[in-house]
Amino acid sequence: MAQEHIIKSYDEELQRLDNALTQMGGIAESQLGSAIEAVIKRDSDVATEVIEGDVRVDNLEREIESQVMRLLALRQPMARDLRQSIAALKIASDLERICDYAANVAKRSIALNQAPPVRPVFALPRMARLAQALIKDVLDAYIARDADKALIVWARDEELDEMYSGLFRELLTYMMEDARNITASTHLLFMAKNIERIGDHATNIAETVYFLVHGSPLNQARPKGDRSSLAFIRPEDGRDRAPAEDEAS
């Protein structure tokens, strides 16, 4: 009877860990959605709420760290239970960074609201919707312990990278068309980069889920579609071109 009670208590602790991560992931999705809403509607009040809400995620991360430390100290988990404890720490860290990036987008939106609206701003919501979907799907994969679903998220990050590269080129061209666009476009570039980094952290979580399920790391090269570092805009016509062989090496 005592053994059954110990096992039940242990299972409940592991479930609380999952619940805390799920709550943290829901906040991450919501924070990103609200940050983009602030950009679209030019609503500084919503942006401020996102920035102030970041503290909730920090508190949850500390709570998860405390739960894991307690599990390691008192339960001495082994095999998959040990992997779950380690995975929880890593996923909580990634979710905390995701919320930091969402807060950064919100901060930039407040600055952007001081300038006239710019055309490329409407490309951000598409990137953000994909990033939100990646967060949701990878957390679903974690809860279901579904490595195949996690791999789908892992592969889709390339799509987000490609969106970022396209917006990067568009914004460079937009800045060259009129120097008055530079300030607003620079803020948009940082916002887009923050969303691209959110995708990278969702990919980190996908790799953690794979490790949790299989007990071994994912030994595939991470797909990357971000070619912004290779973009080159010709001042004379504003068009971008691929770098020559010697330039890329």
Report whether pLDDT(2) > 60.
no
DSSP 216-244: S---SPPP----GGG-EE-TTT--EEPPP
pLDDT score, position 133 = 95
| β-sheet bridge partners, residue 240 | 233
User: Quick one: pLDDT band at residue 227, thresholds 50, 70, 90?
Assistant: low
Model confidence, pTM: 0.85
pLDDT of residue 248: 39
Please tell me the least confidently modeled range out of 9-18, 98-107, 200-209, 215-224.
215-224
| Residue carrying structure tokens 């969702």 | 202
User: What pLDDT was estimated at residue 11?
Assistant: 80
Q: Quick: pLDDT tens for 15-32.
A: 899 999 999 999 999 999
Residue that wins the pLDDT comparison between 194 and 222 = 194
pLDDT score, position 121:
80
Return the number of other C-beta atoms located less than 10 Å from residue 234's C-beta. Answer: 10
Question: In which band, very low, low, confident or very high, does the pLDDT at 195 lie, cut at 50, 70 and 90?
Answer: very high
Position 75 scores a pLDDT of 77
Between 77 and 152, where is the model more confident?
152
Q: What are phi and psi of 245, to 5 degrees?
A: -55, -45
What is the maximum span of the chain, computed from C-alpha positions, in angstroms? 81
Indicate the residue type of 133.
A
Please give the helix or strand (H or E) that residue 107 lies within, else none. Answer: helix 79-112
